[in-house]
Amino acid sequence: MNASAIATAPEAVVRALTTRRRDLRGGAFRLVLLGSLLVAIGVLVTLLVDIGARSASVWGDRGIVDLISTEMSADPERAGIWQAFYGSLVLMVFTAALAFPLGIGAAIYLEEYALDTRFTRIVNANIRNLAGVPSIVYGLLGLAIFVKILGGLTGPNVEGRSIISGGLTLGILVLPIVIITTAEALRAVPVAIREGAVGVGATQWQAIRHHVLPVAAPGILTGTILSLGRAFGEAAPLLLVGGITTFFSSGGAGFVETLQGRFSAMPVLVFSWARLPQAEFKALTAALIVVMLVVLLLINATAIYLRNRFEKGVKT
Amino acid sequence: MITQDDISIALAGSPVRRRRERRIRRLFLGAAAASVLISVAIVASLFGEAWTFISNVGFTPLADIGWFPRRGLYDIRTLLVGTLLVAGIAMVVAGPLGMGTAVYLSEYASPRTRRWLKPAVEMLAGIPSVVLGYFALTFISPSLLRPIFGEGLSGFNMLAAGLGVGILTIPLVASVTEDSLRAVPLALREAAYGLGATKMSTSIRVVIPAAVSGIVASMIIAFSRAIGETMVVAIAAGATGGSLFTVDPLGGGQTMTAAMASLAIGSDRVRGDDYAFQSLFFLGLVLFLATLILNVVAERFVRRVRRQY
């Protein structure tokens, strides 16, 4: 480097730092990144608009009450979604009743009681792996256990392909998600809260029950309710344990008989209607999807509402 | 007078209290053990039926003209190739789009726009896969692909299915990648800017390489999710019952998961004299092991990220 270069260097540096030369490549890069994000959001918007537009004729002719309250039929003029709607709701009750207590209990054990032993590490790794297992494999589990082995209990008249089998399968499916989200919520509770409770003479359970759980409640509730949304959209495992769309009565049978009987659910109905060739069924399927998305929205809104409510109640 | 016993009771709690505590602890232990029980049940049920299948059918029919379980033709190559094809197309879509989304959200978006854009992307993750299957069949295939490929494209095709699965996995790639990008310390970026680097070269040369193991993990997880995705393929790729061996993405086809779903629809015939029912579990075992390995590998990568810095 010669003397003149060194002499001009400071000005060069100042110029480089102060002139606002347009960085074309940087700008293009930014646009590409923004573009990929907009494509993702654009797909979502396209999907919603497309399904909304396709379902328009159903809302005009039938209305939502008629669609939901009418039973399924092979005739697109008269077909409704009642059994599937009812089936989905019952399945959600089963899923929540199984997955919430078991999942929250398991998370409490792993976060609050368990020491860092080999057993604990195995259980933790196992739960993370279960969360990554494809949903259809849970369907196989349900098929092997609830349908084949326990069929006499879950549905004696339908070879075990009952709503009980479906509900238990979905419950097991979301269990790992419930455990993981609950454990995260518990981990976020400061240790000082536990120490404070134990310091004034609370037992471990009293500390958890009255101090840790209330603080973790918003996170636990949001996570568990969102997991219900996940179960609500699942079709694959239900196909394996006998969710069907070819039965045409919701039956006047008693409650237990209903639970042990054949069932349908909204995602399963989407699957079978989507493949039918008639154009009317394309519109019906779109309308059914709109109902599903509205229910999902309600589930998510409930989660957010409960979180806000609980966060207001407890200050950390 | 205070005895030794009084002190130990005062410190440890009364025996009744302690017994109750132990019972509660055991209750929760039972709940945690249930998850292990479920894994054992999954593996046991898969292995049992898969073993019956393999020991009765043998390995010869596993490479024949196609997958037609009801006719005793179990060409698993058909399903493996179909699965890889669909998952490959999905990754071509989800990889770049998910990465781009993540880099924009983590490096470029202001906190305010991020607060709006991130939930919008996450909403895509909440769309049930049957809905995306319907979208792939009724919109992507006829309105998007037909004008490009014309008559060579059949109504049910693997390309549309792959695109649908890809859309489904974009949010997954985006969120895992964004997490790992945001875990890169600010000091690294500041050091790059201090040397006069532009935002673009900081992102590409500093931030992305620093987050590379998280990014790799996101790709592996997305791939695992793509091979396990069932409903999009079952709806959009057609081929109920079976499929001939094919590598043509413009035609209909079958993946492992879609094959399982379509076998299950003919629910009464699944328990035929042949081994169609057992073949379900054989496929399930292959799928279970494949996703298990991918998830374990991905977790290794994620853990490596956490250890750094």
- pLDDT higher than 80, residue B71: no
Q: How confident is the model at residue A117 (pLDDT cuts 50, 70, 90)?
A: confident
The Cα of B1 is separated from the nearest Cα of chain A by a number of Å equal to 23
User: What is the enclosing helix (H) or strand (E) of A12?
Assistant: helix A3-18
What was the ipTM of the complex prediction? 0.87
Q: Chain A within 8 Å of B235 (Cβ-Cβ)?
A: yes
Q: How confident is the model at residue B51 (pLDDT cuts 50, 70, 90)?
A: confident
- How far apart are the C-alpha atoms of B76 and B245, rounded to whole Å? 9
Tokens of B152: 């060579």
Asked if A266 and A89 touch (Cβ cutoff 8 Å), the reply is: no
- How far apart are the C-alpha atoms of A261 and A160, rounded to whole Å? 8
3-class DSSP state for residue A20? coil
Which residues on adjacent β-strands are paired with residue B212?
Answer: none
- pLDDT higher than 70, residue B81: yes
- pLDDT higher than 60, residue A250: no
Of A106, A134, A244, nearest to B257 by CB-CB distance is: A134
For residue A83, CA distances in Å to A187, A247, B88 come to: 41, 9, 37
Asked if B78 and B301 touch (Cβ cutoff 8 Å), the reply is: no
Q: How confident is the model at residue A32 (pLDDT cuts 50, 70, 90)?
A: very high
- How far apart are the C-alpha atoms of A47 and A51, rounded to whole Å? 6
Q: For position B128, what pLDDT does the model report?
A: 93
Sign of CA dihedral B44, B48, B51, B57: negative
If one compares A111 and B153, the residue with the highest pLDDT of the two is A111
Asked if B130 and A233 touch (Cβ cutoff 8 Å), the reply is: yes
For residue A198, CA distances in Å to A110, A182, A314 come to: 19, 22, 19
- How far apart are the C-alpha atoms of A57 and B65, rounded to whole Å? 44
- pLDDT higher than 80, residue B268: no
CA atoms within 13 A on the CB side of A137: 32
If one compares B185 and A24, the residue with the highest pLDDT of the two is B185
Which of A63, A20, A148 shows the shortest CA–CA distance to B52? A148
pLDDT 10s digits, A139-160: 999 888 888 888 777 777 777 7
Contacts of A158 (CB under 8 A, 6+ apart): A242, A260, A261, A262
- How far apart are the C-alpha atoms of A195 and A202, rounded to whole Å? 10
Q: Contact B127/A102, CB-based, under 8 Å?
A: no
Largest CA distance in chain A: 100
If one compares A110 and A10, the residue with the highest pLDDT of the two is A110
pLDDT 10s digits, A170-225: 999 999 999 999 999 999 999 999 999 988 888 888 899 999 999 999 899 998 99
Tokens of B39: 């894994």
Q: How confident is the model at residue B271 (pLDDT cuts 50, 70, 90)?
A: very low
Tokens of A145: 């256990």
Q: Where are the alpha helices (DSSP H) in chain B?
A: 4-12, 15-57, 76-103, 111-126, 129-135, 146-149, 158-182, 186-194, 199-201, 208-210, 212-228, 231-236, 256-265, 276-307
Nearest residue on chain A to B224, judged by CA atoms? A132
Which of B309, B286, B255, B304 shows the shortest CA–CA distance to B46? B286
Q: How confident is the model at residue B267 (pLDDT cuts 50, 70, 90)?
A: very low
**Span of A63-72, A260-269, B102-111, B228-237 with lowest mean pLDDT:** A63-72
Question: Residue A148 burial (CB < 10 Å; 0-12/13-18/19+)?
Answer: middle
If one compares A267 and A66, the residue with the highest pLDDT of the two is A267
- pLDDT higher than 60, residue A254: yes
**Span of A85-99, A213-227, B144-158 with lowest mean pLDDT:** B144-158
User: What is the enclosing helix (H) or strand (E) of B243?
Assistant: strand B243-244
The mean of the pLDDT values for chain A is: 84
pLDDT 10s digits, A33-72: 999 999 999 999 999 999 999 888 888 778 777 777 777 7
Give the residue-averaged pLDDT of A16-21. 66
**Span of A86-90, A276-280, A290-294, A300-304 with lowest mean pLDDT:** A276-280
Q: How confident is the model at residue A306 (pLDDT cuts 50, 70, 90)?
A: confident
Nearest residue on chain A to B280, judged by CA atoms? A140
Mark which residues 58-87 of B lie under 8 Å from A by CB.
Answer: none
Q: Contact A175/B170, CB-based, under 8 Å?
A: no
- pLDDT higher than 50, residue A300: yes
Asked if B236 and B157 touch (Cβ cutoff 8 Å), the reply is: yes
The mean of the pLDDT values for chain B is: 84
Q: Contact B128/A36, CB-based, under 8 Å?
A: no
Give the residue-averaged pLDDT of B298-302. 84
- pLDDT higher than 80, residue A163: yes
- pLDDT higher than 60, residue A248: no
**Which chain B residues have a beta carbon less than 8 Å from that of A34?**
104, 108
